[in-house]
Amino acid sequence: MNGTGIRLHAPAPGWAIAADVIVVGSGVAGLTTALRCAAAGAKVVVVTKAQMDNGSTRWAQGGIAAALGDGDTPEQHLDDTLVAGAGLCDEPAVRALVTEGPDAVRRLISTGAQFDTSDETGEILLTREGGHHRRRIAHAGGDATGAEISRALVEAVRDAGIETVENALVLDLLTDEAGRTAGVTLHVMGEGQRDGVGAVHAKAVVLATGGMGQVFSATTNPAVSTGDGVALALRAGAEVSDLEFVQFHPTVLWLGPDAEGQQPLVSEAVRGEGAYLVDAEGIRFMTGQHELAELAPRDIVAKGITRRMQETGAEHMFLDARHFGAKMWAERFPTILAACRSHGIDPVTEPIPVAPAAHYASGGVRTDLLGRTTVPGLYACGEVACTGVHGANRLASNSLLEGLVFSERIAADIIADPTAPGAPVVPAPARTPLPASEARYEIQRIMTAGAGVLRSAASLAGAATALERLHTASVEDLERDGKTAEPCVETWEAANLSLVARVLVAAARRREETRGCHWREDRPDRDDDRWRRHLVVRLTPNGTLAVHTTDTADFPPVRQETAPLDSLPVTAETPRGTTLAALKEPS
C-alpha cells in the first residue's frame, strides 16, 4: 500500500509487464533518464500520456542556458540564477546545475540535437534572455529548440529499442510491504494488448510528467499538463515543496477575455533580441522599473504588465518588434510568426497583444541532489520536481538544463542501487471520490480568479473555500450513495487538478509576503526575517494537507524510510554540493 492509503478509483489492472526502471514522461528529463539507464543495461519502459513527442519539452521556444560562450563562466550563471530565485534557491543544487550543465549540453549534441551555429565559425549561436547578464542561451531552429531536442531524444530512444507505452495516464504508485516502490498502475488509451488499466512492475519509478499549468484557465502548457506526477507523489506519501511559486510567463499571445486552455507563447527571446513592451499609447512602461527593463526576471515583467493593465484598465499590453523586419522574423522566430499570423496578428507590421499566463511550476515533488523523493525508489525530475534550483522564480531557459543535469544524476543512482523490491501489495479499495469531469473547468476558474498573478488573503481564502466545497460535495455523494464519478481519464485528471490546486492555495495562503513569482497584493514586501523559508506539504491518510515551514532557507534534506545506499558516496544526508563526478561510475 502507498504511504497514505489514498489512491484513485480505478478498475483492477487487467495486464502487467515488468522492467527495471519506469520513466513516466517523454520530455527532456524523462528521455535522458531512459537513455542513460538503458545504456547501462537496465530494462526501461517509458510511459507517456500522449505521443512520444508531445510533452512540454516540445513547446519550449526560448532555448537552453549554459555557460558555453567566451567570457562566460558557471559562476556567473550561478549568480544570475540565485538573483532570479529571490533568496530561496538551494546554492549546492544550482552549482551542480551550472557546473555540469555545459558538458550535459555537449552530450545532448552528441545524441543528435542540432543547435543553431554561426556560418563563419561553426560555433553555437548564443542569445540572451531575461535575468541573464551574458549571452548563454543556445537555440535550435530559431524558436523551435524544444521541438529539436524532443526530435533528437525520441529518435535516440527508438534507435536504442527502449520499450514505450504511449497514450497512457499513470494512476498510482505500487509499493511492497516495506513501503518501497514496486511499480505503477496506469490506464492506456489505446488499442490492442495494452488497453485499459494495467500495471508496470519495477524497482524504480522516475516521475518526469512536466507541469500543472492546466490548473489555470490560461496557460502555455499543453492539455496533458494536469499535475499528474505531483498528485501521484502526494498520494504515495511523498512531500512537495514551494508549490506556491508558479511562474506566469509575461508575454503570452492574448486571444481574448474568454480564451481557455493552452495559449501561444511569445518567447522571451523576442525581448532578448530587442523587442519592447508598450501600452496602447505606445509608452514603454518597463523603462525605469528595473535595470534590465524588458529583460528583467519574469516575475518583474509579469508584475509590470499586470500593474500597467490595472492602471489603464486594459486587458492586455503590446510587444513591439516591428523594427525586426520581415527577414529577421522569418529566420529567427518562424514558429512565433506563424502562430501570430494564424490568429490574425502580423508582428512584422503591428505590435503583438500579450498578457501573462501560467507557465512553469518552480516547486514540485521534493528531491535531493540525486532526484530521490521521500519515498524509497521514487524519483522526480524536470518540472514535476523541486530540486531547489529555481527557488521562488525560475531563471529563463534553466528548465531544459535542469532536466538534462538531474536526469543524469538519477540514472547514476538507479544503476548503482542493487535493491530489489518485494512483490507489490494489492491496494486496498479507494476511499476518496472522483469529481465529475466538468469540475476541471470550475477548478480552473477558481484558481485564475483567486490564485493567479495577483493574490491576496481574501482571494486565496475564496479559492480555498470554493475548492473545499467541490471536494466536500464529492465526498458527501460517496458517503450518501456509495457512488463516485465514473473512472475515466477526464475524472482522474480532475481529481489530480483538485489535489494540486488545494496544495498550491494552502501554500500561497501560508506565505504572507511577496517573493519571486508569488505576489501578494496585501503583503507587497519581501520579508526575509519571517519568510526566507520553504513550505513543505504532504497528504495525510485522512485526506487533509499537512503544511510546515522549514526553520531556515536551507533546502531540507530528503529523508527516506530505508538506509542510504553504500554503493554511492552521496547519500540523502551528504552536503548538497556534491557533483556528478563524485558519483561512482556503474560498471
- Is residue 516 within 8 A of residue 547, CB to CB? The reply is no
- Is residue 462 within 8 A of residue 486, CB to CB? The reply is no
Q: Is 298 a catalytic residue?
A: yes
Sequence-separated (6 or more) residues with CB below 8 Å from residue 470:
435, 439, 442, 443, 446, 498
Sequence-separated (6 or more) residues with CB below 8 Å from residue 577:
91, 92, 95, 96
- At residue 497, φ and ψ (nearest 5 deg) are -60, -40
- Is residue 354 within 8 A of residue 339, CB to CB? The reply is no
Q: Which of 136, 271, 298, 538 is catalytic?
A: 298
199: region left, alpha or beta (phi > 0 left; psi from -120 to 50 alpha): beta
**∠ CA 63-496-252, rounded to 5°:** 35
List, in sequence order, the alpha helices (H) in 417-513: 439-451, 457-481, 489-510
Joined grid coordinates for residue 576: 548538497
β pairing state of 261-262 and 218-219: parallel
Please report, as a single letter, which amino acid is at residue 458.
A
Closest by Cα among 503, 497, 511, 216 to 364: 503
Per the listing, cell 471520490 goes with 433
Q: If residue 361 lies in a helix (H) or strand (E), which one and from where to where?
A: strand 352-361
- At residue 532, φ and ψ (nearest 5 deg) are -80, 70
Catalytic residues: 298
